[in-house]
Each structure stands twice: as C-alpha cells, then as structure tokens.
C-alpha cells in the first residue's frame, strides 16, 4: 500500500493548478489521437480536432467555468469561451452551458437572469445555444456557470499558442485588467463607496465589461485571417504576466518583456491599488496576447488600429532555455510570477 507523501497532502491554493503539476497530470491522460491536432497542454486555450480529412474546416472545442464573478456571470461565461476559440482563429458557433445554482438561495429570478445574460451574449456574437444542463445543488455556495463551446476554423488558418518563434515580437492588443477591474468594481462596490470612491467612477469601471468589453473575438479573427500572427493567447486567470508565461511554456521559448509598455487605465490602476493588487496578475480578459514575425508587426498594428483596437509591442521571443526576463523603467527586473490570480485576495 502506497502512503501519500506530505507534499501530496498539502492544500492547493485557489485558482489554476500549478503549471508543473498540470503538465504532469496531463501526461498521464489518454490525449493522443491522429485526429486531435491540438490537445491539452499548458498555455493552449482550446482543442483542435480533424473530424473529416476531406473538409476545409477543423472543429475547435473549449470548456471553462466562471467562479470569480457573480454579477453578469452569463456574459462572462460566453465571452471567455468565445475568446479561447478566437485565439485559435476559430469562429464560435455553438454553446452548451452548465448552470449550477446554490440550494440555499436559488430563486426563479436568479435562473431567469443568468439565462437572459447567456442569451444576450450569444446573440451578440452570433452563437447558438445547442444544449447544456441546469441544476440547483448543495455543492455550490454561489451561482457557477461552466460552458463548453464549439467552433470551426479553416484548416490552413488555425493558430496555436505554441507557434511563436525566437525573434518574434510580442504584442498586446487592448489594455489590462479589463475583466478583473470590472469584477472588483461590481463585487466590492459597497466597500469602495464606504472608502470614498465616487459612484460614477465605479459605474465606469463596472461597465468595462461591455465597453471596451472582454471580447477579443474581433482582433483575434482579423489577425488569424490575415495570417500575420505566429501565436495568440487569451490572458485570463493570473493576468497578463501568467498569460505571457503560458505563451512561453506552450512554445518552449524564452521572452523578454517591457512591463512599462503594458497599458493600464488610470481607474484600473487605482482600483487595484485600493486592494494592494498588482494589475499584471489580475484577470485580463479583454486583452489579446500575440506574437508576430518582425516583418509583419507594422501591418498587424495597422490592421488592429483600423478596427479600433489599440495595440503595442511589449517584448520579444527569445531562444529556448533563455527563460523569462522583464524590464521596468529601463532596468532589468525579475519577471513577476503569480501562483494564483491577484483577485483572490479580495476574499481572503
């Protein structure tokens, strides 16, 4: 009989599984099939499946739960899944949500609200709800929506996080942390008002969910269709810093990043500072990470600019084994590592 080691009995922190642990666990699963072109690995956002060798299109599939947000949870669920499909170059088509409501305080009004949010978000992106599941259960303390989304991508157009090459530029479209700032403004509103924040300020940040919004569908599909990117990634839990680390891990490369070039709005900066959060480690849906060969950078920036998406070069891809490096105020600094998303501090 095998006795568990003390390390295996150590409680895990809230958030994603540590990258090394996740890699080891995935390695033990049956993940190999000739039709599975892109399977589960750290840094990859979705699976790419070749169901029909004679077809010009590939199936792309993603699943994701929403566990941090309660307000507008249906909107988050749809858009987070859609983003993960979009960064492969895929157009989202079908959504299957699982809605879990807490038995202690579930109401018909709550169920109606979440379904309305899912419906509105799907209609806005042209997505059809194809099925799913709903349940009132004692196993959750707040509403949870976990969704699976299916989409399709032209065979020659699909992009993977592991596609970047040494010498590529690292780009960020949008700003950070759109998703995290909106959640803070919504979930911590009463506390912030008590501490002197103005209602108009909190309303503005709460509305980041819709303007500029957390969807990166438009810039991701434009980049993929134009064949201007070597890799794309949706930085969500763990923020931009974790997204960059995952992008590097997926490709097995190093990166050098100028942290000062990552745009953070003044309101988001202040909101994070109010809870001693580093914006680089806060939920970052609403921003798009990408890499591009040097000769394609200007065309990509122009393409995004014409579509109303500001973007900037924040670093470059280094050779395998060179690790992650950061610069701040022109000086080298350790690359920021966030074992869990900074936003978890709100509930500690």
Domain ranges of the chain: 13-154, 161-347
Give the CATH number of domain 13-154; options: 3.50.50.60, 3.40.50.880, 3.30.460.80, 3.30.1330.10: 3.30.1330.10
Supply the pTM of this predicted model.
Answer: 0.92
Q: Which CATH superfamily is domain 161-347 in?
A: PurM-like C-terminal domain (3.90.650.10)
Which residue numbers in the chain have pLDDT < 70? 1-8
- The pLDDT assigned to 15 comes to 76
Render 44-75 in DSSP notation, one character per residue: --SEEE-S-TT-SEEEEEEEEEE-S--TTHHH
Give the DSSP letter of residue 29: S
pLDDT at 6: 59
Q: What is the pLDDT of residue 30?
A: 95
CA atoms within 13 A on the CB side of 253: 24
Integer Cα distance of 132 and 333 in angstroms: 46
- Token couple for 157: 């157009």
Q: What is the C-alpha end-to-end distance of the chain, expressed in Å? A: 37
Q: Two tokens at 108?
A: 């018909």
pLDDT at residue number 14: 76
Q: Are 150 and 46 in contact (CB under 8 A)?
A: no
Angle at Cα 261 formed by Cα 257 and Cα 263, nearest 5°? Answer: 125
């Amino acid at each position: 009989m095998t006795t568990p080691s003390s390390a295996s009995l150590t409680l895990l922190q809230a958030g994603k599984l540590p990258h090394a642990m996740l890699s080891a666990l995935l390695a033990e699963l049956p993940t190999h099939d000739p039709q599975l072109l892109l399977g589960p690995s750290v840094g990859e956002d979705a699976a790419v499946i070749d169901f029909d060798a004679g077809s010009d299109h590939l199936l792309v599939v993603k699943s994701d739960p929403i566990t941090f947000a309660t307000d507008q949870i249906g909107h988050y669920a749809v858009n987070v899944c859609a983003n993960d499909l979009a960064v492969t170059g895929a157009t989202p088509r079908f959504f299957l949500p699982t809605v879990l409501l807490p038995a202690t305080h579930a109401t018909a009004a709550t169920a109606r609200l979440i379904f309305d949010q899912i419906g509105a978000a799907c209609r806005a992106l042209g997505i059809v709800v194809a099925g799913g599941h709903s349940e009132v259960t004692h196993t959750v303390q707040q509403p949870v929506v976990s969704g699976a989304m299916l989409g399709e991508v032209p065979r020659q157009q699909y992009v993977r996080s592991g596609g970047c090459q040494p010498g590529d530029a690292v780009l960020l479209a949008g700003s950070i942390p759109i998703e995290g700032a909106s959640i803070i403004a919504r979930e911590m509103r009463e506390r912030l008002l008590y501490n002197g924040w103005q209602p108009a300020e909190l309303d503005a940040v709460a509305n980041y969910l819709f303007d500029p919004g957390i969807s990166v569908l438009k810039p991701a599909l434009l980049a993929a269709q134009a064949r201007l990117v070597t890799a794309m990634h949706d930085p969500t839990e763990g923020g931009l810093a974790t997204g960059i680390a995952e992008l590097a891990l997926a490709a097995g490369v190093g990166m050098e990043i100028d942290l000062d070039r990552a745009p953070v709005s003044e309101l988001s900066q202040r909101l994070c500072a109010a809870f001693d959060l580093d914006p680089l480690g806060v939920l970052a849906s609403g921003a798009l990470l990408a890499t591009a060969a040097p000769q394609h950078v200007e065309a990509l920036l122009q393409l995004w600019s014409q579509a109303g998406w500001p973007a900037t070069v924040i670093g470059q891809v280094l050779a395998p084994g060179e690790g992650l490096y950061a610069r701040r105020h022109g000086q080298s600094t350790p690359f920021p590592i966030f074992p869990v998303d900074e936003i978890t501090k709100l509930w500690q």
